[in-house]
């Protein structure tokens, strides 16, 4: 994350649509693009005005920095977000404090919105974020392929979660032939059979595994394992040969 100046040319910056390779920021901005940032900026300003703060002003550049701070604070967590601006060595985050003043961040947070409160669908569960989700979904469909070569076979063999992973892996293998990948996913997707298939293709994978999917792995049952001392662990290694 870098501090962005007020160069007006940057207010309408859009990610390059050039072919691969792209840098990580380029890829990220394909999804959280200009339209998404402008939506958040406009709706936040509108909500401030609705609450009587007609002097509130916000640029797209500031919104990008604000969102970047939210993302950074998600994995550099402290007990209170404002501690990132503290001068204490164990909480101070120079990257954040140099990018935006604390009071300015809190002012934006106070009015942060993704939809117009005066025009919400009363029956929509995600009404307050629906315009933002619509932009993200459109971008995901534009820049990602979600169907593999054998979607029906994948679903029957590896389940819905496994199908999603293998469809994405098909796309990666087609776009980057010869490159080996390391995939990471949560317990909705993971199964022993899926991990074996990914390994068979020559790639690595890491995922949390639900207790009902361990198959014949002789792990201690949950009720007994919960009674073990804090920090207890066990592991098993299977050598796969193809």
Task: Give pairs for 92-99: CB < 8 Å, separation 24+.
Answer: 95/1, 96/69, 96/72, 98/3, 99/1, 99/2, 99/3, 99/65, 99/68, 99/69
How many domains is the chain built from? 2
Same domain, 203 and 110: no
Other beta carbons within 10 angstroms of residue 40's beta carbon come to 25
**pLDDT tens sequence across 170-217:** 988 998 999 999 999 999 999 989 999 999 999 999 998 888 888 888
The pLDDT assigned to 127 comes to 93
Which pair of tokens denotes residue 111?
Answer: 């009015």
**pLDDT tens sequence across 16-40:** 444 556 787 888 888 899 999 999 9
**Which domain covers residue 196, as residue numbers?**
150-225
**pLDDT tens sequence across 44-89:** 999 999 999 999 999 999 999 999 999 998 888 888 888 999 998 8
The pLDDT assigned to 144 comes to 59
Q: Is residue 242 part of a domain?
A: no
Domain end (from 142, 169, 190): 142
Same domain, 115 and 172: no
Cut 0.75: pTM above it: no
């Amino acid at each position: 994350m870098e501090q962005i100046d007020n160069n007006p040319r940057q207010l309408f910056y859009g990610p390059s649509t050039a072919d691969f390779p792209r840098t990580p920021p380029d890829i990220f901005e394909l999804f959280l693009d200009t339209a998404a940032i402008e939506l958040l900026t406009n709706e936040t300003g509108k909500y401030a005005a609705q609450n009587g703060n007609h002097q509130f002003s916000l640029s797209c550049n500031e919104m990008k920095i604000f969102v970047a701070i939210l993302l950074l604070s998600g994995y550099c967590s402290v007990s209170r977000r404002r501690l990132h601006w503290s001068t204490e060595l164990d909480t101070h985050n120079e990257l954040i404090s140099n990018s935006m003043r604390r009071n300015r961040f809190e002012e934006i947070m106070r009015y942060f919105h993704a939809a117009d409160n005066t025009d919400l669908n009363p029956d929509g569960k995600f009404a307050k974020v629906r315009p933002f989700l619509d932009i993200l979904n459109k971008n995901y469909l534009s820049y990602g392929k979600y169907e593999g070569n054998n979607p029906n076979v994948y679903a029957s063999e590896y389940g819905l979660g496994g199908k999603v992973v293998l469809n994405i892996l098909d796309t990666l293998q087609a776009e980057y032939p010869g490159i080996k990948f390391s995939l990471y996913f949560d317990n909705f997707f993971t199964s022993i059979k899926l991990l074996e298939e990914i390994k068979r293709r020559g790639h690595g994978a890491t995922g949390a595994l639900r207790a009902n999917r361990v198959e014949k792995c002789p792990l201690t049952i949950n009720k007994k394992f919960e009674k073990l001392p804090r920090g207890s662990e066990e592991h098993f290694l299977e050598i796969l040969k193809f």
